[in-house]
């Protein structure tokens, strides 16, 4: 092989390794803050049914997730309650939820637990992250099947798009979409695919681990893709700017 081509190949390989290394280190730092949200039933088998992902923020006993993850009514006669699960694999701890606050308009919820866990830092700037920025998210895809084994996916911010987009004909507008047309807000559209169970996962910058958004798929699909016959599989995320007021009200 020509020396020039060999040198170029070495530079490409080295650049790939350097770009991948920050994410390797960041994943190791992020994983202890990733938790699962489940429904605990002392009379069923198994006793815990996993329903989504969450992540811990300061001061360590606040867990962020999607509102739709904990919105379904539970069977009080069967003593069902929502719980937070930390740990991975078979080594897990169950945490009771002592308080919860929610912002349904942004599909966000903050759950308070007693124990303090490692917390992730949040992106504090008011501006949205630019399109084309590399991002990653860690959570529990297909949670009920795969269990507490966190997986990380990466991609880019493909677009900043309104949460509510007018349909091509009024007959195609769902009631939920109509209510949101009055006050649409921008969300991130990602060139990365989330799966059931990823709802509530933190979307973060690979180099720093700063959380910039919360993965959300079901809530956005009810408006964004109401006119499509088949779901696109495109992932959406709620910018962290909409979380900050909810966290302030929790203090």
* Contact between 198 and 219 (Cβ < 8 Å): no
Q: What is the pLDDT of residues 123-140, one digit of tens each?
A: 998 899 999 999 999 999
| Cα–Cα separations (whole angstroms), residue 87 to 57, 150, 155, 190 | 16, 10, 26, 28
Average per-residue pLDDT for the chain: 83
What's residue 13's pLDDT? Answer: 44
**Mean pLDDT by 10-residue block, N- to C-terminus, for the chain (251 residues)?**
50 46 93 96 87 96 96 88 90 94 94 97 94 96 75 95 61 57 83 88 97 78 45 80 89 63
How far apart are alpha carbons 208 and 204 in whole angstroms? 8
> In the prediction, which pLDDT does 15 show?
45
Taking the C-alpha atoms of residue 179 and residue 185, their distance in angstroms, rounded to an integer, is 13
Q: How high is the pLDDT of residue 167? A: 47
Nearest CA to 98 out of 84, 80, 78 is that of: 84
Model pLDDT, residue 10: 45
**Three-state SS for 148?**
coil
Burial (0-12, 13-18, 19+ Cβ within 10 Å), 224: buried
């Amino acid at each position: 092989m020509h020396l020039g081509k060999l040198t170029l190949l070495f530079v490409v390989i080295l650049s790939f390794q350097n770009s991948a290394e920050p994410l390797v280190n960041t994943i190791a730092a992020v994983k202890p803050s990733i938790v699962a949200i489940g429904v605990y039933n002392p009379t069923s088998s198994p006793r815990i049914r996993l329903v989504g992902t969450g992540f811990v923020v300061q001061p360590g006993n606040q867990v962020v997730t999607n509102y739709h993850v904990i919105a379904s009514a539970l069977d009080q006669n069967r003593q069902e309650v929502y719980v937070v699960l930390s740990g991975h694999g078979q080594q897990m701890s169950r945490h009771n939820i002592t308080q919860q606050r929610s912002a349904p308009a942004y599909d966000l919820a903050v759950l308070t637990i007693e124990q303090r866990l490692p917390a992730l830092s949040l992106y504090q700037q008011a501006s949205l992250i630019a399109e084309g920025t590399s991002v990653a998210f860690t959570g529990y895809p297909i949670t009920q099947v795969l269990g507490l084994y966190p997986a990380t996916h990466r991609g880019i911010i493909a677009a900043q798009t309104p949460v509510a987009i007018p349909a091509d004909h009024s007959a195609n507008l769902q009631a939920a979409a109509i209510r949101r047309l009055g006050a649409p807000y921008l969300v991130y559209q990602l060139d990365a695919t989330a799966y059931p169970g990823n709802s509530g996962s933190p979307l973060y910058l690979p180099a720093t681990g700063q959380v910039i958004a919360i993965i959300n798929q079901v809530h956005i699909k009810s408006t964004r893709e109401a006119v499509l016959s088949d779901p696109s599989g495109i992932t959406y995320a709620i910018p962290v700017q909409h979380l900050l007021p909810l966290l302030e009200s929790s203090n």
